[in-house]
Chains A and B, each alone.
Chain A
Amino acid sequence: VSTWTELIDAAIIGAARGRPELADPLLSGITSAGPADSARRLLDHAAVVSRARRAGYAPADASPLQAPAPAAPDVRPEVSDAAQRRLGELLAAGPAELVAEWLRLVAATPCRIPAAHLPALLTLAADDDGLREAVLPLLGPVSDWLASLNPQWAWAGSAARAADPPAASWATGGIGARRTLLLRLRRRDPAAARTLIASTWSSDSHRDRTAFISALATGLSEADEPLLSQALADPRGEVRLAAARLLSRLPGSAFARRARERAAAAVAVQRTVTGRRLAVKLPAEATPEMLADGILPDPPRGTGRQAWLLRQLVAAVPAAWWPEQTGLAPARLLELAAASDWNAALAGGWRDAAARDGDVPWISALLDSLAGAADPDAGGAGRELLAALPRAAAEAWLMAHPGRPLFSALDLVPGPWTTGFSAAVRGLLATMTDADAGAWPEGRRVLRIAGFRLEPPDPPVRDNVPAPGKLLDSWSGMLTTLSVRAALRSEISEETP
């Protein structure tokens, strides 16, 4: 027991209850207070001993302690000082979108992430799927070594990134981790992923089962049919629906054959004296076989029973099957549907199928028909269709439809945008007026998105026209984002001294 610890004990309980008589003879002369003034004696001792403790601090002997083995050396070069500082600023103040962009730009160079920023980056990316994807290609020996010391960063370790993820984490992981693992495995080895799903199928919740079946969309093949058929018999409707969606994309499956037979029986093209027309023939209600294949019997409010059935039967086959079967282009089929009594159900079914399949000819035709019709629901349906289009097709359609449709759907085109599309958006922004800003409640969102996705990050040039006053904050926010992105590029391409 040292003099200091004795003194602490005495101070905690107070001089009124204990009388600190310190054993150390060196301290005998330091207080002039009489034995009755115990508080004063305690204070005098505290003053001297606390100063002595600081002045005579002796670092402990730690030579027996084992330090962890060092990380393997990272031979990749450093990015420039400016790029390192920039990453530090972005990690401290955001936005996360620009951190991801920094990482993508550096991934195109031979450089590494500066070690000092790894802890903050790994922590931020632990909860952010997009950021994690951007970090993964840049990880190296130091992040590996850090991951082994902090469970929060385990995802960045080489064990977690290995070609064969430990199956143990499948049985015990959370839904997010399991889905990530499944998708990664599915890209590389679809059969192994299928086996993984089957291994816990009976004990997983219906929500998990739905998520895992949907994950099979990645790398879908005929080999998935048995598992999907099993899911089609699931007691829960969501699971059956997810399975049915995928089965309808496997043309060789028994399910797809049944769906084609039903679709052909329900809708036929007839020649009449005035031209062609669509003839619809439906059973009074869904048969047990249909129900077994995931057809839902009860329509949403406002839709008739038979219309609901028709929509599902139409959607259950691949969108591309209809032109093949009838010899008519999507636009022509939509015209015929419009002339029939079943327009809403037919167009709805095709919309569902086209969005699911990402079928470009169908989506283009459907979008054109929506743009023509003053359908109040067209915005929502149009967004769903646009989101299903491959990037190039989505950009092409939007560029052909400047104005309102383009602005309201900008968020559906992931960044970075192509230079052509960026130029089109930039041109529209350059002429955006206060009136536009008032008419488009999504103006603020549009400007924010444009800041992050325009490529290259050049600002729209407004020749002596002031920026729209109502959106001035968002406008200057966009300019700031663009200038930071331009700076990022020059900093990252700078040579390391």
Chain B
Amino acid sequence: MRTLSREQVIGLAPDPAAAKAGQGQAARPKWAGLGQDEQAAWGECQGSGAVPYRCQVAADDYASRCSCPSRKSPCKHALGLLFLLSAGELPRAARPDWVAQWLEARADRAGQAAGTRPDGLPADPAAQLRRAAERDRKVDTGVAELRLWLADLARTGLAFAQGQPWDWWDRPARRMIDAQARGLAGQIRRMASIAASAGQSADWPERMLDRLGALHLLCEAWTRRDQLPGPTADALRARIGYTRTAEEVRASGDRVTDVWAVLGQRCTEDDNLRSLQQWLYGESSGLVVTYLAFAAGSQPLDPGLPAGQRTGATVVLYPGSRPARILLADRQTASRPLGALPGCDSWAAAMSQVADVLAVDPWADVLPLAVRSVTVLPGPAGTGGQEAGSRWLLRDAAGHAVPLSGPAEARWRLYAVSAGRPVDVAGEWDGFGFSPQAAGPAGAAGQLIA
């Protein structure tokens, strides 16, 4: 099966303790009957009991099953198996019966979930249309309510809204989820978190007004959705919360085969939901796309492409929001280290890319940008750039600069990598500051720094 890097295996672990325990299991003497083929890896691990644990991992999504009593998934045995795989220590072997049975059961379940009727015919097209119209009506109601709420907010002012408790924001957000407009709910919650962190950022009114404008524009656009150009209408539906299934995208999306450099990665954990976002820069296509994966509870999180490396892959583009979200259709097993980072030669050129994206998807918020040969201008010594008026800047060769934002650790790492000389950087632009994620000395190989 497709191999993984050690970092990716660590990324699959439900928590750091499990990753460590998994490394402890990655010793061949602990195992019997180790093997792998295209679809799975397996082995029997001697635990503390008399009967060894039978452990198996599927190749397509790294789902695992183990006979050990652990409730973590993947358990340490499955992780140990993956560590062995990443170290190239799993021999090719004939699949034992117990693995074959598990794979068959998985395939059956996947078939049922795909929505084909038992007789193998696709679902009724008229019923599908009916359901779509019903959903649009629900969103209509939600948008109408949201417009009233936004008008109230505009009347009473941002200062009043900032002082409101979480529930004041969360109630309309929950209403939008009921109205099947999850994207709108997310926008409201982002405003709530701007309000909550107002103490730490002096520019909160700007950021909140920016969100308010975007949200109002979403509502306006929804009421006039029939007049919008196709790509913008796709972006609108994606931003409101209409999703497409992977099957739909795989069937109709554009495909791009390229070598992709992963120049940024962000993992979040919220209640029971883990998510992963990666920025992929295409080497010959020049495309920049984003990979998103979610996993609830004990589901495995597909680790995407190896972060901070270059990997050949065919991706399928989702229609809608920009930069395009992708599916990984086919990825190569071998990865190479990053070379020199791609990028524009000036902030002006980078900002014109931003304008191009906004022309199609005016709701675009955080965008990936890469600029070459910029100089870090640190704030006053020791401030880390947090206090007002002591901002760190990133200046291009033409002398223009944007504020550096993001965590202080990434800023200092960028600064250390630069050693005071120009650097090539890739990172996220949110309309207010640039948060660096990968960097390297100008013209030399880059690395992830956040």
Contacts and interface: CB of A to CB of B under 8 A. Distances in A.
A422 B382 CA distance: 45
Nearest to B19: A93
B393 A53 contact: no
B400 interface: yes
Nearest to B160: A14
Interface size class of A (residues with CB under 8 A): 35 or more
Contacts of B150: 43
A226 B413 CA distance: 51
B393 A62 contact: yes
A8 B205 contact: yes
A146 B396 contact: no
A62 B151 CA distance: 39
B449 A54 contact: no
B209 A55 contact: no
Contact of A39 (B155, B158, B376): B155
A117 B154 CA distance: 46
Contact of A46 (B21, B212, B402): B212
Interface string A354-391: 00000000000000000000000000000000000000
A62 B395 contact: yes
B48 interface: yes
Nearest to B367: A54
Interface string A40-54: 101110111111011
A476 B355 CA distance: 55
Nearest to B206: A8
A71 B151 contact: no
B26 interface: yes
A476 B210 CA distance: 52
Nearest to B410: A119
A313 to B, nearest CB: 54
A13 interface: yes
B420 A151 contact: no
B420 A69 contact: yes
A12 interface: yes
Interface string B425-450: 00000010000000000000001010
Contacts of A74: 419
Interface size class of B (residues with CB under 8 A): 35 or more
A70 B419 contact: yes
Interface string A49-73: 1110111111111110101111101
A56 B362 CA distance: 12
Contact of A81 (B48, B337, B381, B395): B337
Nearest to B7: A85
B399 interface: yes
A350 to B, nearest CB: 46
A165 interface: no
A7 B157 CA distance: 11
A151 B419 contact: no
A119 B413 contact: yes
A12 to B, nearest CB: 5
B73 interface: no
Given A16-B156, A151-B381, A59 B420 contact: no
Contacts of A142: 416, 419
Nearest to B154: A39
B347 A150 contact: no
Given A57-B351, A67-B377, A115-B417, A12 B401 contact: no
Interface stretch (B214-222, B238-246, B260-268, B272-280): B214-222
Contact of B401 (A49, A62, A120): A62
A119 B409 contact: yes
A11 B382 contact: no
A167 interface: no
Interface centre among B154, B155, B381 (most CB of A within 10 A): B154
Interface stretch (A190-198, A439-447, A478-486): A478-486
Given A16-B157, A68-B420, A62 B377 contact: yes
Nearest to B431: A54
Contacts, number: 189
A61 B417 contact: no
Contacts of A469: 48
Nearest to B203: A8
B355 A151 contact: no
Interface of B is mostly: helix
Contacts of A62: 377, 393, 395, 399-401
Contacts of A237: none
Interface string A224-266: 0000000000000000000000000000000000000000000
Contacts of A56: 355
B354 interface: yes
Nearest to B350: A59
B159 A12 contact: yes
B359 to A, nearest CB: 7
A226 B160 CA distance: 72
B102 interface: no
Contacts of B157: 11-17
Contacts of A472: 48
Contacts of A146: 412, 415-416
Contacts of B151: 39-40, 43
A48 B449 CA distance: 35
Contact of B213 (A40, A48, A71, A150): A48
Nearest to B363: A51
Interface string A1-25: 0001001100111111100000000
A438 B80 CA distance: 29
B24 A483 contact: yes
A429 B365 CA distance: 58
B90 to A, nearest CB: 17
B204 to A, nearest CB: 10
Nearest to A468: B48
Contact of B27 (A50, A61, A479): A479
A70 B337 CA distance: 27
Contacts of B27: 459, 479, 483
A435 interface: no
A152 interface: yes
B171 interface: no
Interface centre among B46, B396, B402, B412 (most CB of A within 10 A): B412
B418 to A, nearest CB: 8
29 contacts: A8-B205, A11-B205, A14-B159, A16-B155, A16-B157, A43-B151, A43-B213, A46-B212, A50-B213, A51-B358, A51-B362, A54-B358, A62-B377, A62-B393, A62-B399, A62-B401, A81-B337, A115-B416, A115-B417, A116-B447, A145-B420, A149-B378, A469-B48, A477-B24, A479-B27, A480-B21, A480-B23, A483-B26, A483-B27
Given A11-B205, A47-B216, 18 more contacts: A13-B157, A43-B151, A43-B212, A44-B220, A47-B214, A54-B431, A57-B431, A59-B348, A60-B393, A61-B399, A71-B420, A115-B416, A115-B417, A116-B416, A149-B382, A150-B381, A466-B48, A467-B48
- Give the 8 A-B residue pairs with the shortest CB-CB distance, closest first: A14-B157, A70-B420, A63-B399, A50-B213, A62-B401, A480-B24, A46-B213, A119-B412
Interface of A: 4, 7-8, 11-17, 38-40, 42-44, 46-51, 53-63, 65, 67-71, 73-74, 81, 85, 89, 93, 115-120, 141-142, 145-146, 148-152, 459, 466-467, 469, 472, 476-477, 479-480, 483-484
Interface of B: 6-7, 10, 16, 20-21, 23-27, 46, 48, 150-152, 154-160, 205-206, 209-210, 212-214, 216-217, 220, 337, 347-348, 351, 354-355, 358-359, 362, 375-378, 381-382, 393, 395-396, 399-402, 409, 412-413, 415-417, 419-421, 431, 447, 449
